[in-house]
Amino acid sequence: MICPPAISKVGMPISFDVLDGESGSGFDGSIASGALPDGLTLSRMAPATPKISGTPTKTGSFTFQMHFANNVGGTR
């Protein structure tokens, strides 16, 4: 998994790949528990690498777990 930016500011757009390059291609992603901060979304469509992007609207700490699966039974 690629780490998100350590610090983001409210109102500042961010975008980052959740899985690294080629090894992330072909995986659908979903939020298994918790929630992303308001204003951020997880693009989860294969064959692209899953990505979190958007513009945060609140400060704070946010905890969530993600699940990834591909069409041949691989999971992460």
- Angstrom CA distances, 34 to 3, 31, 58, 72, stand at 17, 7, 16, 27
Q: Would you state the pLDDT for residue 64?
A: 86
Q: How confident is the prediction along the chain (76 residues), in pLDDT tens digits per residue?
A: 455 555 678 899 988 877 765 555 567 778 899 988 899 998 866 566 778 889 999 888 888 888 887 777 666 5
Residue ranges of the domains in the chain? Answer: 14-67
Query: pTM for the whole thing?
Result: 0.72
pLDDT for 33: 92
Question: For position 46, what pLDDT does the model report?
Answer: 58
Q: State both tokens at 50.
A: 């899953």
| DSSP reduced 3-state for 57 | coil
Measure the CA–CA gap between 51 and 1, rounded to whole angstroms: 11
Q: Which is it for strands 40-43 and 51-54: parallel, antiparallel or unpaired?
A: antiparallel
